[in-house]
Chain A
């Protein structure tokens, strides 16, 4: 005797499931506060109006600096948070982006604001190549290999005379007055940061992002569930290099000089990791909150104690405390206990 499923009952089940899913997604839509990041963005976009009433260059610099780290930390989050591969070498892509666009600016006078996406692509291509090799190992071995990558890049950049070696390269400044000189970079960095956060959101909610989260939990099970883990990881690496490269490109022109000891610094990598851990690895709002917190903390340390050594000590201390007591980060810990305020729920 064969059991046949009647068409009507099967479609009824599918129909019921669809309505249930819709109900669920409506519920998450209600708890998510998409308006908040948008309002924040609008507020920041209007911030330069302050320049009409006074000189707020320092405020703009702080927002720009924070935005660059929002972009980098969110970008790092794609590999480190979603896929679970912690990289301490992402400063390499910051450097690659900065130098690629910076060289174009120095040689041909094309602004980095135009070439930034290109710089991102170059960084992504290098990330793809490196990922093909280093993503074979995981856990501590991967972390160590990423440090080695940074060290190799530092030596190469320090000794490559075409790009200025250890002394670096001075870039032309723009013709705007001091009052408005920061504006192009301000908006560019803000746009890059917003684009990165939006992309991270899209990636997290795609099938690709689901695959990444699966392989971060258990790679062998993910593989046997039919996910091409190798391809997924390498693409995640390339994507997470892309946005860092873009941020690096704009940052280079903003600083008006390129130097290996500014871009290829382990502290830059450490900051990305720290922001994600502190804010919440694998969440969308986490890296943003983390970036704001760390930049604020940095400014506080520098303003009250001055020395950069104290700054390193403070960064290490915050990182250790965060790791030991809040391994899920601010957003993760709050979400677990169900106390996450609605305005921070961007997932």
Chain B
């Protein structure tokens, strides 16, 4: 019993972080129909910002989170202007943007690789290796803090989307781009904004990831399928769905990892992605897909 509880707690804590990693991906898809394959690469970008600050000035990774988020959001604005604005009218828009973000992912990987080499990095604040003990069950502090911060950020994002005027506009654009434009929403501006928030979330996730996982530039290929499976399970574009999907898959992966073997826990995500795409492409909370 204690073992099951233990696995459950570890899975949920990691699930929180994965939810934050996926939420930006989901938001960007919802508003702009861009499947951003470069998202994990940009998360790693955020992780390197945090890592550098930690190594050079000993700044706590969680304290560094806002800086990483804002920096990456700025990067997001630039990327949107450079890459996606002109693609908006192309006939095969969604397919085009997938390939374009794929190219972007390679560029980010190559850039980070030539700047920082492909060595495994990790930030090591005190709490990264410490743990709470409740009876037999231990809760690693690093993962707990990261999970809690992630869920707090996602809660703030949900409140913003639900109650602010910009949030209305973003949700309206997600639901129906043309109708939103007709009702006076500046869809161009909302797209840039949502893209910046999405990439900003990647930066924020990067800060947390920096002490939860070890990372190197080529790591993002493992994450893309993992995040995709989370986002697709929840329903592309739904933030709540992403959280639920992340928690479910992360717990399942934790059980698979403990009972079957650590190498197979990542396989859970990939197989899940495969199965969900084929059985229920719109996911748990998604609308009927317009991907076709």
Contacts and interface: CB of A to CB of B under 8 A. Distances in A.
B105 to A, nearest CB: 7
Interface of B: 35, 37, 83, 86-87, 90, 94-96, 98-100, 102-111, 113-114, 117-118, 217, 221-222, 224-225, 228-229, 232, 263-264, 266-267, 270-271, 273-274, 277-278, 281, 289, 291-292
Contacts of A134: 274, 277-278
A137 B281 contact: yes
A310 B110 contact: yes
A151 B107 CA distance: 20
Contact of B222 (A141, A151, A273): A151
The 6 residue pairs across chains A and B that have the minimum distance between CB atoms: A313-B110, A316-B106, A309-B113, A312-B110, A316-B107, A319-B103
A130 to B, nearest CB: 10
Contacts of B117: 309
Contact of A149 (B108, B274, B291, B292): B274
B35 to A, nearest CB: 4
Contacts of B270: 148, 151-152, 155
B113 A141 contact: no
Interface in A255-309: 266-267, 270, 273, 277, 307-309
A37 interface: no
Contacts of B87: 324
A225 interface: no
A315 B110 CA distance: 9
A144 B107 contact: no
A259 B271 CA distance: 23
Given A140-B35, A140-B94, A320-B83, A309 B217 contact: yes
A50 interface: no
Interface in A304-337: 307-317, 319-320, 323-324, 327
A148 B225 contact: yes
Given A155-B263, A155-B270, A145 B102 contact: no
A159 B110 contact: no
Given A144-B35, A144-B277, A148-B273, A319 B99 contact: yes
Nearest to B226: A151
Given A138-B292, A139-B94, 16 more contacts: A133-B274, A134-B277, A136-B278, A137-B277, A139-B292, A140-B98, A141-B291, A143-B99, A148-B225, A148-B277, A149-B274, A152-B270, A267-B106, A317-B103, A319-B99, A320-B103
B291 A138 contact: yes
B90 A327 contact: yes
Nearest to A152: B270
A312 B83 CA distance: 18
Nearest to B35: A140
Given A141-B281, A145-B277, A152-B270, A312 B102 contact: no
B291 to A, nearest CB: 5
Nearest to B105: A316
A234 to B, nearest CB: 14
A88 interface: yes
Contact of B99 (A86, A145, A152, A159): A86
Q: Is the contact region of chain B dominated by helix, strand, or loop, or is it mixed?
A: helix
A323 B103 contact: yes
Which of A133, A144, A267, A323 has the most chain B CB atoms inside 10 A of its CB? A144
Contacts of A313: 106-107, 109-111, 113-114
Contacts of A136: 278
A158 B263 contact: yes
B106 A315 contact: yes
Contact of A145 (B37, B105, B274): B274
Nearest to A320: B103
A147 interface: yes
Contacts of B229: 148
Nearest to A318: B103
A319 B108 CA distance: 13
8 contacts: A144-B277, A147-B37, A148-B274, A152-B274, A307-B114, A313-B114, A316-B108, A320-B103
B274 A139 contact: no
Contact of A86 (B90, B98, B103, B271): B98
A273 B96 CA distance: 12
Contacts of B86: 324
A319 B100 CA distance: 8
A215 to B, nearest CB: 13
Nearest to B100: A323
A147 B224 contact: yes
A266 to B, nearest CB: 6
B228 A309 contact: no
B83 to A, nearest CB: 7
A219 to B, nearest CB: 8
Contact of B96 (A152, A270, A309, A327): A327
A277 B99 contact: yes
Given A140-B95, A307-B114, A152 B277 contact: no
Interface in A132-184: 133-134, 136-141, 143-145, 147-149, 151-152, 155, 158-159
A172 B170 CA distance: 61
B113 A312 contact: yes
A141 B290 CA distance: 11
Contacts of A148: 225, 228-229, 270, 273-274, 277
Interface string A97-138: 000000000000000000000000000000000000110111
